[in-house]
Amino acid sequence: MKSFTARSFETVGPELSADMRAAVADDPLALFTDFQWYLHQGRDTVFFTAFAGRTFSKEDTATLVADMVARAPQLSHGFKGATPGRPLTAEQINAITSVETIDDLEGYPDKWIGNSRDLFDAENLPLFRVMVANRREGADADGRAAVIQVRSAHCLLEGSDSALLTRSQSAGHGVLSDPNAKVAIGDKAGGMVRAGIAAFIHMFFAYALSPKDKPIHAKTLAFSRRRLRDLAGRLGVRQRSLYFALVSMALNGEGPEKAMSNKAIRAAYTMVGGKRNEADDDFFRVRALQAMFPVHDDFMYYVKEVDRVVGKIEERDVSAFQMRILAMFGMHRRLNKRFPWLHGERFWRFSGATHLVLTLVPPHRLHGPMTRGMMEPIYCGAYHPATNICTFCPGREYVTFNFTMEQRHIDNVDKISALLERIEAMVGEGGEASAGSAELAAAG
C-alpha cells in the first residue's frame, strides 16, 4: 500500500481519493508526517485551559467542538474509523466531551493537568478531549463561572494552532515545506546516511541511559506581561531570554550543588517560522533549537549570557539541524514498521542529556465566537514522558509559565516569583508591579 503524507492530503482537498481512504482504513496514521508519527508514538500531549465568565452546557460544548474541527480539520485524523477532513459525528463528540458541576475553582488548572494517556486508550475515538467544570453557585468574586480545558495529542495541535483558535481563526495546516528551496542531492544522500547512524545511536543510548519511569507533576504561574516586558527592557535583553533565565536559574537552585548542573544547562527550545526547504516537515510550523546556558550565580550576568546564546543561535540557519532531526524520525518510522518491538516504553522515555525544554508559544488573544466568555490568564502547555517542560504562553495582559516536570523541579517553581522580585528591586522601578504579580502568581 502506498504511503501518503499531509502534502497529498492538502493537494486534493477535503475529499480523499479511493486509494487514500483505503490507506487510512488500513493505517489511521497513513496521512501523518514523520514528525507527527513520532509524537504520536511517544504519546506526547498538549493542553489549553482558561476560566470563563459563563457556564457551558453539554450542547454548548458540542458546538464548540464542532467549531474547533471545522477550523482545525487535522483533529479529524489519526484514529480508527476516522474520515479525515469531515465533521465528527454527534456520537463521537458526545464521547470526547464532559461537563461537570463543582463547588469552587480553587486549585485549577493545576489539578486538571496530567499526562493525558487516556487519549490513546480508545482507538476509535478522536485524539482530543474537551472538559468543562461549572461552578455550582455561578461566578465567583473574580467573575469566573467555569473552567474549560482542551487536551490533545501533540501530533494534531501545536502552540500556533492554539493561538489561532483563541482568535477564532482557521488553524488548518497547508503544505509547509518549500518545494522551490531545493536540497542538493549529495546533501540528501548524506542526510539519509547520517539519519540511519543517528537512529541507531539514539536507540542504543535510549536503552542504555533512559531514566526510570518517574511521575510528572504540573504547576502553573501567571505574571503581568507588562511587568516582564518592562523588566526585560531595563535589563536590555529579549523577553524570551528573561523568561528562560528566570526559570532555568530558579529551578537549578542556589549553592554549590545545583539541581541540574553546576556548569551549563542544556536546554531545547522552539521557535515558529524561519527559512524552510523541500525537506521540511509538511505539518509542523515549529522549529527545534538547542542551547547551552553557562551557569552563573549572578543573575545580571546570567541573563545577559542567555540572551547572547539565544541571539547567536537565531542568527544561524537552523534548517540543517531540523533536516537531520526529521530524517531521523523518518528512519525510526521505517524501522518501526518492520521491527515494532524496537520502540518500547524505555525508548520513548529517553530525552537525551537535555535538562529543560523551553517552549514559547505565539501570543494567545481571545477574540470571536470560539472563545466567547473566556478570560485571561490562558494556560497552555505540553507533556512528554520523562521530560521537564516549561511552556510560556503570552496573552494580552498576562504571561503564564506552565510546568510539567518531575517533583524535585516542581518544588523549586515558587522560587521564580521570589527571584523576579529580587531582580526588580535591584534594577529599580519594580515595586508596584511586583506586588500586583505576586497576587496573580498566588491565584494561578
Residue 379 has pLDDT above 90, yes or no: yes
- Asked if the structure places residue 355 within a domain, the reply is yes
Which of residues 166, 184, 203 is at a domain's end?
Answer: 166
* CA-based radius of gyration for the chain: 22
Task: Examine the domain organization and report whether 244 and 161 are in the same domain.
Answer: no
Q: Categorize the per-residue pLDDT at 277 as very low, low, confident or very high, splitting at 50, 70 and 90.
A: low
Predicted confidence at residue 23, as pLDDT, reads: 81
Predicted confidence at residue 15, as pLDDT, reads: 61
- Asked if the structure places residue 219 within a domain, the reply is yes
pTM of the model: 0.87
Which of residues 166, 181, 199 is at a domain's end?
Answer: 166
- Asked if the structure places residue 204 within a domain, the reply is no
- Asked if the structure places residue 277 within a domain, the reply is yes
Predicted confidence at residue 278, as pLDDT, reads: 59
Predicted confidence at residue 273, as pLDDT, reads: 62
Q: Which one has a higher pLDDT value, 194 or 437?
A: 194
Task: Examine the domain organization and report whether 116 and 230 are in the same domain.
Answer: no
Residues 6+ apart with CB under 8 A from 194: 324, 327
- Find the mean pLDDT for residues 164-175: 86
Strands (E), 304-388: 356-360, 374-383
Q: Which one has a higher pLDDT value, 30 or 386?
A: 30
Task: Examine the domain organization and report whether 140 and 277 are in the same domain.
Answer: no
Task: Examine the domain organization and report whether 151 and 242 are in the same domain.
Answer: no
Highest mean pLDDT among 195-209, 341-355, 392-406, 425-439: 392-406
| 93-115 burial code (b ≥16 CB/10 A, e <16) | beebbebeeeeebeebbbebbbb
Parent domain of 93: 6-166
- Asked if the structure places residue 259 within a domain, the reply is yes
Q: Residue 410: which H helix or E strand, with range?
A: helix 407-410
Task: Examine the domain organization and report whether 245 and 148 are in the same domain.
Answer: no
Residues 6+ apart with CB under 8 A from 255: none
Mean pLDDT of the chain: 85
> How far apart (Å, rounded) are the C-alpha atoms in residues 303 and 231?
12
> How far apart (Å, rounded) are the C-alpha atoms in residues 171 and 164?
6
> How far apart (Å, rounded) are the C-alpha atoms in residues 227 and 369?
30
Predicted confidence at residue 21, as pLDDT, reads: 76
- Find the mean pLDDT for residues 220-237: 96
CATH of the domain at 36: 3.30.559
CATH of the domain at 362: 3.30.559.30
Task: Examine the domain organization and report whether 162 and 235 are in the same domain.
Answer: no
Q: Could you tell me what percent of the chain has a pLDDT over 70?
A: 85
Amino acid at site 336: N
Q: Categorize the per-residue pLDDT at 431 as very low, low, confident or very high, splitting at 50, 70 and 90.
A: very low
pLDDT tens digit sequence for 96-113: 999 999 999 999 999 999
User: How buried is 6 (Cβ within 10 angstroms: 0-12 exposed, 13-18 middle, 19+ buried)?
Assistant: buried
Task: Examine the domain organization and report whether 148 and 231 are in the same domain.
Answer: no
Task: Examine the domain organization and report whether 288 and 414 are in the same domain.
Answer: yes
Task: Examine the domain organization and report whether 245 and 138 are in the same domain.
Answer: no
Predicted confidence at residue 7, as pLDDT, reads: 39
Predicted confidence at residue 2, as pLDDT, reads: 31
- Asked if the structure places residue 176 within a domain, the reply is no
Pair 148, 366: CB distance under 8 Å: no
Q: How far is CA 42 from the centre of its chain?
A: 14
Q: DSSP alpha helices (H): ranges in 210-235?
A: 225-235
Three cell numbers written together for 163:
493561538
Which of residues 166, 189, 206 is at a domain's end?
Answer: 166
Predicted confidence at residue 444, as pLDDT, reads: 33
Q: Categorize the per-residue pLDDT at 8 as very low, low, confident or very high, splitting at 50, 70 and 90.
A: very low
- Asked if the structure places residue 335 within a domain, the reply is no
Helix (H, G, I), strand (E, B) or coil at 23: helix
Amino acid at site 259: A
Max alpha carbon distance in the chain (Å)? Answer: 67
- Asked if the structure places residue 197 within a domain, the reply is no
Residue 185 has pLDDT above 70, yes or no: no
Task: Examine the domain organization and report whether 158 and 224 are in the same domain.
Answer: no
Q: How many domains does the chain have?
A: 2
Q: Could you tell me what percent of the chain has a pLDDT over 90?
A: 62
Task: Examine the domain organization and report whether 272 and 363 are in the same domain.
Answer: yes
Nearest alpha-carbon partner for 326 in 14, 22, 38, 112: 38
pLDDT tens digit sequence for 52-72: 999 999 999 999 999 999 999
